[in-house]
Structure 1
Amino acid sequence: MKVIGITGGVGAGKTQILEYLNNRYGATVCQADEVAKKLQKKGTDCFERIVEHFGDGILDEKGELNRAGLAEIVFADKVELSVLNSIVHPLVKEEILKKITKEERKNTNLMIIEGALLIEDHYEEICDELWYIYVEDSIRKKRLKYARGYETKKIDEMFAAQLPKDMFMRHCDRVIDNSGVFEETKMQLDKIIADL
């Protein structure tokens, strides 16, 4: 089984790429963010540790984490972001390793792990390759404004919290340019899959 890590900045169009790899090649897709959401449900160890550090102010009326409120805190403060990451990410990686083992038992051919922090969290140790989805900043900004309705300030904070392009380039085995039309991206993906 090939395990591929896909990473890139927010607004790079990773979701569309994951859907394509799933539909076209039957890839099993695991998104680190979705794993994190499950681990942060009310009553879990991860949830308790987050509330212990950040306080009850980050809970919604149902007593669940207010993820938007938490994001506002951590994207504005690098120290708080690293605290949150140190709580959540080791648990996420542990869960993903369990998923990889499960897929290996099922004789899956291709498993894709998508996450923002694959480089920082050393996913090269558990992936055969890391792929960087590259999109020019100006295009990512437009996508985030129109598709998600984000304000410029929020986008700038998110960009500032992410690795610079050269770090992605240095640590990833392949770069997929998703700045143009998706047909061009598909051609790049098809070529890479044929090479695997």
Structure 2
Amino acid sequence: MITIGITGGVGAGKSTVLDFLEQEYQAYVMKADEIGHLVMEPGQSCYEPVIALFGKQVIKNDKTIDRRLVSDVVFSHPDMLEKLNHIIHPAVKEYIRRQLALKKEEEQRICVVEAALLLEDHYEEFCDTVWYIHTDSEIRIRRLMESRGYTREKSMSIIASQAPEEFFRTHTDYVVTNNTDLEDTWQQIREGIKKYEAL
């Protein structure tokens, strides 16, 4: 089994790459963001600690945590964001590790872990290879404006707040350029898989 870590800035089209790996290679895909939501569900490991941190006002009528309210609080209180991350990140990693062990037993051929902060949070610890999805910033800005309705200024400031391209290129094993030619993107993914399988 190989585990591929996928990272890249916002608007790089990581989901497009994940969808292709799922369809073409039947890869088992895990997204750190989605798992972060999952571990906050009632009965899951982060549910009680998050309520203890933010107070009972974050519990909605259906007993789930109001993530929008949590998000509003951490947006204006960096210290609360740090505390929240200390609760969520270890739980997400633990969940991924358990799933990888399970998939190995099931003889899954390819597993993929996607996280925006994959390198910063050291997810590469359980990845065999880490891929950086690169997209020209002009295309990323356009995608964010189209898909999320952001202004050009907001799109540019989000991109500027993320790690620079050199950081990604220095700390990853393989780069997939995902601009506008999807056939070219698919070809690079196939080559990346072949390259790894040949090792």
The TM-score range, normalised by the shorter chain, is: 0.7 to 0.9
Amino acid at match of 2:13: G
| Deviations, residues 49-102 of structure 1 (Å, cap 9, x unaligned) | 223223345444544233234334435554433322211010000010000001
- Show the counterpart of 1:111: 111
Q: RMSD in angstroms over aligned alpha carbons? A: 2.3
Specify the SS of the correspondent of 2:46: helix
Instruction: State how many pairs are aligned.
Output: 196
Contact 1:75/1:158 (<8 A) preserved: no
5+ residue gaps in structure 1? none
Contact 1:7/1:116 (<8 A) preserved: yes
5+ residue gaps in structure 2? none
TM-score (norm 2): 0.86
Amino acid at match of 1:113: V
Contact 1:76/1:157 (<8 A) preserved: no
1:64 and 2:86 aligned: no
Contact 2:45/2:91 (<8 A) preserved: no
Match runs of 1:22-171 below 5 Å: 22-75=22-75, 77-151=77-151, 155=155, 158-159=158-159, 162-171=162-171
TM-score (norm 1): 0.87
For 2:70 and 2:156, how far apart are their aligned partners in 1?
17
Farther off after superposition, 159-168 or 25-34: 159-168
Runs (4 or more) in structure 1 with deviation over 6 Å come to none
Contact 1:75/1:161 (<8 A) preserved: no
Contact 2:145/2:151 (<8 A) preserved: yes
